[in-house]
Amino acid sequence: MTLLKTNKGWSVTFAGMGINLALGILYTWSIFKHAIAQSIEQGGPFNWDRASINDPYAVCCIVFSFAMILAGKCQDKLGPKLTSFIGGLLVGLGFIWISQTTSYISWVLGFGVLAGTGIGFGYSAATPPALKWFPANKTGIIAGLVVSGFGLASVYIAPLAKYLLTHFGLQNAMLYFGIGFFIIVCGLSQLLVNPPAGFIPQSTTQKNTNSRVPKTNDIKPFEMLKTTHFYFLWLIYMIGSGAGLMVISSVAGMAQKSMGEMAFVAVAIMAIGNAGGRILAGLLSDRIGRVNTLLIMLLFQSVLMFIAIPLTSNEHTSAIALVLLATFIGFNYGTNLSIFPSFAKDLWGLKNFGTNYGILFTAWGVGGFVMSRLSQMITAATGSFSSAFIIAGVALVVGALLTLVVNYRLKPAQLSPKKGR
């Protein structure tokens, strides 16, 4: 056991949060998408098919998630500092590239592939070192804090993006974001350090976390892939994240009828819900368990999807109602991003956390790609979001049922909560 006079856990945690505050620009896509759509309608330089406007975002989601596997391996073997530095470099290059072109293919490659890979590298390196500095009973809250930066990013990026678009245009905005986030991510990457070998964090409490934590640790990826509950968790993650990303990719357009040029406010406020969901879900899952927290979130999100149908269909819906809807959808979506890393640590340990969670995280990318692409195609064909909301609502109910199956299947593995210790 290694004892340290100075525990760097909090500095690592907030450095990871800062990196995610930059990388979370992904959640501001709906503002960029609206600018592209206006250019198409006005015969501007973006001569794209309307059904393809979401493609750079959809590709970014899936590339981001699959890059997490390679990035996780890099993080496990080479450490978080180098991994996140590579992420900052790739994101910067991706945004600088698309700032110089209006080509559809270039945006898919620059924003979707290059920036998506960079986001995967930066994101994958932010959480693991923070978790290693803290005891198991803080897993949920630390994971929630680090990933809350990603969700909270649009609070400042949305109004900043609106300002840059208005005064400098879309492509110059991409250039400024690329340079800025290269500096921020690469700079903060130098603060991401793992604790020394043999370090064991001191727990501030002897109380068990009630999170169904198994006594097995350091499961290898191929061993994880042999477990049935991995595939159930993957499907649930795909559904929960896909439903949220579908709304995030289009929230500015949904709010346009009621809020006009102030639609970016809905994006920013949704980000507060997104970040709040990550932190609160982390705290809650440490207390009542991951499965219970996940079940509540999925059912609540399903109800919101059905509520969204009349709200988004009515041209006279109040801006306040739309903002509240977006906030709660963002809140429920955000819970995924703290619960599933906690599941990964609980079930498969920290030694191979980067790789194991990277594999599980592919569900996030597949969900984002499928649901955002599907919703854009349906909306372009029908002019309404209603069918997409119905599909998402039903899928979330299925996800809740699968969560009950996971709960049942984990019992034989002796993962029942222990209270009062």
Cβ pair 60, 112 in contact under 8 A: yes
Token pair recorded at residue 14: 């907030």
pLDDT 10s digits, 156-198: 888 899 899 999 999 999 999 999 999 999 999 999 998 887 7
Taking every pair of Cα atoms in the chain, the longest distance, rounded to a whole number of angstroms, is 67
Q: Is the dihedral of CA 252, 255, 258, 259 positive or negative?
A: negative
- Asked whether 53 and 179 are in contact (CB, 8 A), the reply is no
The answer to whether 178 and 99 are in contact (CB under 8 A) is yes
Question: Can you give the pLDDT at residue 75?
Answer: 87
Domains for the chain: give ranges and CATH numbers: 10-194+208-413 (1.20.1250.20)
The Cα–Cα gap between 17 and 152 comes to 10
Q: What is the pLDDT of residue 388?
A: 82
Using the 8-state DSSP alphabet, how is residue 202 labeled? Answer: P
Nearest alpha-carbon partner for 120 in 354, 374, 370? 354
pTM of the model: 0.75
Closest CA to 273 of 226, 224, 331: 331
Based on the number of CB atoms within 10 Å of its own CB, is 215 exposed (0-12), middle (13-18) or buried (19 or more)? exposed
User: What pLDDT is attached to residue 261?
Assistant: 64
pLDDT for 260:
65
Q: Whole-angstrom Cα distance, residue 224 to residue 308?
A: 37
Q: What pLDDT is stored for residue 139 in this prediction?
A: 80
Q: What's the CA gap between 347 and 27, in Å, rounded?
A: 29
pLDDT along the chain (421 residues), means of 10: 62 94 87 89 87 88 89 88 96 96 96 95 91 84 86 85 92 95 94 85 51 58 90 94 79 62 72 82 85 92 90 72 83 87 86 87 88 79 79 93 84 41 34
Q: Residue holding tokens 């819970």?
A: 335
